[in-house]
A and B are shown apart, each in its own frame.
Chain A
């Protein structure tokens, strides 16, 4: 019996170590894979979707929104699509979002990954669907391949836009090359664009010269250093503005001392 005791203990410790080791191995492989597949920066989500990290948390991948979509716009990501498996998205160049008045894809969501409040407005005291509030992405124009920027008349995207003159307007510029014609350049207004992709679908070039990108990709961010002093609403940002100070060797002395000190010059 005396001989068996350390053996048992050794066995126990070894089997524990084996369990821990195998778990760690499994967890590492698993988390590496999950981390890899959840990164899809160019994916376009259905109307009313939460921010991407919250959406990934909340979507249960049931496909009820896909079934509710009357135009087969929404599809569920399949293994091999290089998108987070099972989550709904759309490819506007294939099938854009036709911006239904009653937005059938949103209320069927059982988990709240598609938020009703984000696509409803109170009109005359009554909550009403308001598809123009939707913000799935932003249309971006590639001026190099857009033939309207060459001087050829084309307003396909402008006319396809469900918010014509609000989300896309035409800017008239003089065509200096011919001297007598006008450019009719499409300009997208980020605050109004819903990201529906009807413009991308309508674009006449081989590969669309106007295309929808997720807001996080398409938009920059000004930060606290610049504020529109002429805009009351923008000026309100000053309240929460955070300063940033860099500290170097030079900051040890006051600015005036530093400027008056001519020692280095001689």
Chain B
């Protein structure tokens, strides 16, 4: 259990949120209505996807206050607390790509496959392109092709051919490139990487306890963020870290754990230094 405690928690939030959305449409539950694009919590608190809102603003939409407040709430939550946690704790596509990458490891596909070079920065380019195309076409461009939206909307309101999009992502991750969608292409992941760069909830590494087994790097979907492993202690500060805690689970030496304080301390130190 200890080895999968965070995995269970992540699946619990991911699936729990989807069940609430499904129940809202199918049985009229009023805990969490709508979907991940925009929802209503307990029939009072509006919540909204800040990246969808940004695209709509680029498209030139005049928006009501509800959705703006909702997007601000979510943006604040991820900016201050969660970081890029949306990707591994909420996004339904995470389950598809985790399955593909688990299968990839089991089958050893990465060992036989010739590495295709792809830049991690592709997602930022796609993000910028989504905003520019939204402005040019006069509607939220990524929302019309987003497999994430197709998945959570599909589960609450009917999937249609949306299953095809999930299969594409699955095959893409399984056969084209490791973590191809979430780690390289997805503009929403890029958006949250930037938004959550300075969040307080961080993985912290203790280099003293590390035995350099490198299991964490093997399992990490964003390996670059763990560059300090075994070299120096400190928080994982790169925005690309999704706080998925796979590195924490896999570590046999307690060299990795979540920490809010270390980040806080560091900021306090920095402000002191400046003063």
Contact = CB atoms under 8 A, between A and B. Distances in A.
Interface in B2-51: 24-25, 28, 33-35, 37-40, 46, 48-49
Interface stretch (A72-80, A173-181, A227-235): A72-80
A79 B138 contact: no
A60 B40 contact: no
Interface string A83-121: 011100000000000000000000011111000000000
A60 B150 contact: no
- Give the one of B38, B66, B126, B157 with max A CB within 10 A: B157
Nearest to B25: A67
A246 B3 CA distance: 81
A26 B126 contact: yes
Chain A: number of interface residues, binned into ranges: 35 or more
Interface in B59-108: 59-64, 66-67, 70
Contacts of A27: 129, 132-133
Contacts of B67: 60, 110-112
A67 B56 CA distance: 23
B62 to A, nearest CB: 7
A34 B154 contact: no
B161 A54 contact: no
Interface string A16-49: 0001000100110011011101100000000000
Counting chain A CB atoms within 10 Å of each CB, the highest count among B61, B141, B145, B149 belongs to B61
B70 A110 contact: yes
A57 B46 CA distance: 19
B61 A54 contact: yes
A60 B56 contact: yes
A104 to B, nearest CB: 12
B213 interface: no
A212 interface: no
A63 interface: yes
Contact of A60 (B38, B126, B129, B133): B38
A62 B152 CA distance: 10
Contacts of B214: none
B144 A37 contact: yes
A215 interface: no
B138 A57 contact: yes
A110 B52 contact: no
A53 B149 CA distance: 21
A63 B64 contact: no
Given A64-B33, A76-B158, A57 B56 contact: yes
B145 A30 contact: yes
Interface of B: 24-25, 28, 33-35, 37-40, 46, 48-49, 52-53, 56, 59-64, 66-67, 70, 125-126, 129, 132-133, 136-141, 143-145, 149-150, 153-154, 156-162, 164-165
Interface of A: 19, 23, 26-27, 30-31, 33-35, 37-38, 53-54, 56-58, 60-64, 66-67, 75-76, 78-81, 84-86, 108-112
Considering the complex of A and B, which 5 residue pairs feature the smallest CB-CB distances, nearest first? A78-B160, A80-B161, A112-B64, A62-B38, A110-B66
